[in-house]
Amino acid sequence: MSCIFCQIVAGELPASIAHEDELCIAFMDIHPLGRGHVLVVPREHGVQCTEVSAELMAHIFRVARRILVAQRQLGWGLPGTHILLNDGAAANQTVPHIHVHVIPREKGDTLRSVARLTLHVTRIFGQAAPRVELERQARSLRDCMMAMMADSDSTAVTDRD
Ligand SMILES: [Zn+2]
């Protein structure tokens, strides 16, 4: 199995997991383009979003939205976020397994840093974040999402479907 995201899903490669359920996992990007940059990945292998069911993609985006809410509750970045899917190598998809980026914008960051997403530069030159920091962020997100689920009065997240 050569797909690195399938290896992460199988637990064969390390990742700092922010969320997991029967359909997908979400983990911290090792080359973050913003504080708390998360990737949401279906457990099922597919390169492009049309290779899996529309229901699965809907679930992926539902989880991405939940991550976004948690990032904001944690005060990471500005109330502005990129939810981004590069669908296919021609769109500069760097890992050939469907993944949705959830990237909080930071005050003072530049479009240049986010533009790196549409290039391959990040994977080539990007500095890997320290694992201990990624683990800390993943734990914060897990705790925050747990609290959101416990708070049934929360209007921040409507995920009852
Ligand atoms: Zn895969």
153 within a domain of the structure (yes/no):
no
117 within a domain of the structure (yes/no):
yes
Domains held by the chain: number: 1
CATH number of the domain residue 107 falls in: 3.30.428.10
Measure the CA–CA gap between 130 and 148, rounded to whole angstroms: 27
72 within a domain of the structure (yes/no):
yes
Active site residue 45: no
Residue 22 token pair: 């029967």
80 within a domain of the structure (yes/no):
yes
Q: How far is the CA of 29 from the centre of ligand 1 (A)?
A: 16
Q: Is 111 helix (H, G, I), strand (E, B) or coil?
A: helix
User: Which domain range does residue 128 map to?
Assistant: 4-146
41 within a domain of the structure (yes/no):
yes
Across the chain, mean pLDDT equals 87
H/E stretch holding 71 reads: helix 54-73
159 within a domain of the structure (yes/no):
no
133 within a domain of the structure (yes/no):
yes
Among the listed residues 19, 37, 99, 101, the single catalytic one is 99
9 within a domain of the structure (yes/no):
yes
Choose the most confident range, by mean pLDDT, from 31-35, 50-54, 82-86, 107-111.
50-54
Q: How far is the CA of 4 from the centre of ligand 1 (A)?
A: 6
Q: How far is the CA of 111 from the centre of ligand 1 (A)?
A: 29
Query: Is 158's pLDDT higher than 70?
Result: no
The tens digit of pLDDT for each residue in 17-51 reads 999 999 999 999 998 888 899 999 999 999 999 99
Q: How far is the CA of 9 from the centre of ligand 1 (A)?
A: 8
The reported pLDDT for the residue numbered 77 is 86
pLDDT: which is higher, 119 or 98: 98
The tens digit of pLDDT for each residue in 114-154 reads 666 665 444 444 568 899 999 999 999 999 999 988 875 55
